[in-house]
Homo-oligomer: A and B are copies of this chain.
Amino acid sequence: MDRPLKIDELLCFSVYSVNHAISRLYRPLLAPLGLTYPQYLVLVALWDRDHRRVSDLGAELQLDTNTLTPLLKRMETAGLLTRQRNPEDERSLIVTLTENGRVLEHKATELTACVLEAMGGDIEELSALRDQLHALRDKLEQR
Protein backbone atom coordinates (compact mmCIF):
# COMPACT_ATOMS: atom_id res chain seq x y z
CA MET A 1 0.00 0.00 0.00
CA ASP A 2 2.08 2.91 -1.27
CA ARG A 3 -0.83 5.25 -1.87
CA PRO A 4 -0.88 8.06 0.70
CA LEU A 5 -3.55 7.41 3.32
CA LYS A 6 -6.51 9.67 3.84
CA ILE A 7 -7.20 10.93 7.32
CA ASP A 8 -10.14 8.59 7.85
CA GLU A 9 -8.01 5.60 6.94
CA LEU A 10 -5.52 6.23 9.73
CA LEU A 11 -6.15 4.18 12.85
CA CYS A 12 -4.34 6.85 14.84
CA PHE A 13 -6.89 9.44 13.75
CA SER A 14 -9.84 7.24 14.63
CA VAL A 15 -8.41 6.85 18.13
CA TYR A 16 -7.71 10.59 18.37
CA SER A 17 -11.18 11.34 17.14
CA VAL A 18 -13.03 8.89 19.40
CA ASN A 19 -11.05 10.15 22.36
CA HIS A 20 -12.28 13.68 21.73
CA ALA A 21 -15.82 12.45 21.14
CA ILE A 22 -15.75 10.63 24.48
CA SER A 23 -14.35 13.69 26.22
CA ARG A 24 -17.16 15.78 24.72
CA LEU A 25 -19.68 13.17 25.86
CA TYR A 26 -18.40 13.27 29.44
CA ARG A 27 -18.05 17.03 29.69
CA PRO A 28 -21.71 17.94 30.25
CA LEU A 29 -22.20 14.88 32.47
CA LEU A 30 -19.22 15.80 34.68
CA ALA A 31 -19.79 19.55 34.75
CA PRO A 32 -22.53 19.34 37.44
CA LEU A 33 -20.02 17.46 39.62
CA GLY A 34 -17.38 20.13 38.99
CA LEU A 35 -15.10 17.59 37.35
CA THR A 36 -13.09 17.50 34.15
CA TYR A 37 -12.64 14.26 32.28
CA PRO A 38 -9.01 13.63 33.37
CA GLN A 39 -10.01 14.46 36.95
CA TYR A 40 -12.77 11.87 36.69
CA LEU A 41 -10.24 9.27 35.54
CA VAL A 42 -8.06 10.09 38.55
CA LEU A 43 -11.07 9.58 40.79
CA VAL A 44 -11.90 6.23 39.20
CA ALA A 45 -8.36 5.11 39.98
CA LEU A 46 -8.59 6.41 43.55
CA TRP A 47 -12.01 4.88 44.21
CA ASP A 48 -10.46 1.54 43.45
CA ARG A 49 -7.33 2.09 45.50
CA ASP A 50 -6.79 5.03 47.78
CA HIS A 51 -3.95 6.38 49.92
CA ARG A 52 -1.21 5.91 47.40
CA ARG A 53 1.75 7.78 46.01
CA VAL A 54 1.59 10.18 43.06
CA SER A 55 3.93 7.95 41.09
CA ASP A 56 1.63 4.95 41.64
CA LEU A 57 -1.27 6.92 40.23
CA GLY A 58 0.94 8.06 37.39
CA ALA A 59 1.93 4.51 36.52
CA GLU A 60 -1.70 3.44 36.34
CA LEU A 61 -2.89 6.47 34.37
CA GLN A 62 0.26 6.76 32.26
CA LEU A 63 0.83 10.33 33.38
CA ASP A 64 3.95 11.97 34.72
CA THR A 65 4.13 14.40 37.64
CA ASN A 66 4.31 17.40 35.31
CA THR A 67 0.69 16.61 34.48
CA LEU A 68 -0.43 15.07 37.75
CA THR A 69 0.92 17.63 40.22
CA PRO A 70 -1.17 20.58 39.02
CA LEU A 71 -4.15 18.30 38.35
CA LEU A 72 -4.06 16.91 41.89
CA LYS A 73 -3.56 20.39 43.34
CA ARG A 74 -6.75 21.53 41.62
CA MET A 75 -8.57 18.51 42.98
CA GLU A 76 -7.20 19.23 46.44
CA THR A 77 -8.43 22.82 46.17
CA ALA A 78 -11.83 21.45 45.12
CA GLY A 79 -11.85 19.42 48.34
CA LEU A 80 -11.80 16.02 46.67
CA LEU A 81 -8.53 14.74 48.10
CA THR A 82 -5.58 15.50 50.36
CA ARG A 83 -1.88 15.50 49.51
CA GLN A 84 0.42 14.62 52.39
CA ARG A 85 4.11 13.88 52.54
CA ASN A 86 4.87 10.30 53.41
CA PRO A 87 6.44 10.25 56.92
CA GLU A 88 8.36 7.11 55.96
CA ASP A 89 9.91 8.84 52.96
CA GLU A 90 9.55 12.59 52.76
CA ARG A 91 10.19 12.57 49.02
CA SER A 92 6.90 10.91 48.24
CA LEU A 93 3.40 12.31 48.49
CA ILE A 94 0.37 10.29 49.58
CA VAL A 95 -2.91 11.06 47.86
CA THR A 96 -6.03 10.31 49.92
CA LEU A 97 -9.69 10.86 49.06
CA THR A 98 -11.75 13.10 51.30
CA GLU A 99 -15.32 12.22 52.18
CA ASN A 100 -16.37 14.58 49.38
CA GLY A 101 -14.26 12.70 46.89
CA ARG A 102 -15.51 9.33 48.05
CA VAL A 103 -19.16 10.31 47.90
CA LEU A 104 -18.96 11.11 44.20
CA GLU A 105 -18.53 7.43 43.44
CA HIS A 106 -22.28 6.86 43.84
CA LYS A 107 -23.19 9.62 41.40
CA ALA A 108 -20.66 8.24 38.95
CA THR A 109 -22.59 4.98 38.70
CA GLU A 110 -25.47 6.64 36.86
CA LEU A 111 -22.92 8.37 34.70
CA THR A 112 -21.40 5.05 33.62
CA ALA A 113 -24.84 3.78 32.62
CA CYS A 114 -25.43 6.94 30.62
CA VAL A 115 -22.12 6.57 28.79
CA LEU A 116 -22.75 2.90 28.12
CA GLU A 117 -26.09 3.78 26.57
CA ALA A 118 -24.51 6.48 24.39
CA MET A 119 -22.02 3.92 23.12
CA GLY A 120 -24.73 1.57 21.95
CA GLY A 121 -25.19 -0.54 25.05
CA ASP A 122 -23.71 -3.76 23.69
CA ILE A 123 -21.41 -4.72 26.57
CA GLU A 124 -19.91 -7.73 24.81
CA GLU A 125 -18.96 -5.65 21.80
CA LEU A 126 -17.57 -2.78 23.86
CA SER A 127 -15.55 -5.10 26.09
CA ALA A 128 -14.05 -6.74 23.00
CA LEU A 129 -13.10 -3.32 21.65
CA ARG A 130 -11.56 -2.39 24.98
CA ASP A 131 -9.46 -5.56 25.01
CA GLN A 132 -8.20 -4.91 21.49
CA LEU A 133 -7.19 -1.41 22.54
CA HIS A 134 -5.36 -2.75 25.60
CA ALA A 135 -3.46 -5.16 23.39
CA LEU A 136 -2.53 -2.28 21.10
CA ARG A 137 -1.43 -0.12 24.00
CA ASP A 138 0.77 -2.90 25.35
CA LYS A 139 2.34 -3.33 21.91
CA LEU A 140 3.07 0.40 21.73
CA GLU A 141 4.46 0.58 25.24
CA GLN A 142 6.84 -2.36 24.99
CA ARG A 143 8.95 -0.49 22.44
Contacts and interface: CB of A to CB of B under 8 A. Distances in A.
A15 B136 CA distance: 10
Interface residues of A, number: 54
Main secondary structure of the interface of A (DSSP, over half): helix
A133 B17 CA distance: 9
A26 B8 contact: no
A8 B143 CA distance: 21
B60 A137 contact: no
B18 A137 contact: yes
Interface of A: 1-2, 4-22, 24-26, 41, 44-45, 47-48, 60-62, 105, 108-109, 112, 115, 118-120, 123, 126-127, 129-130, 132-134, 136-137, 139-141, 143
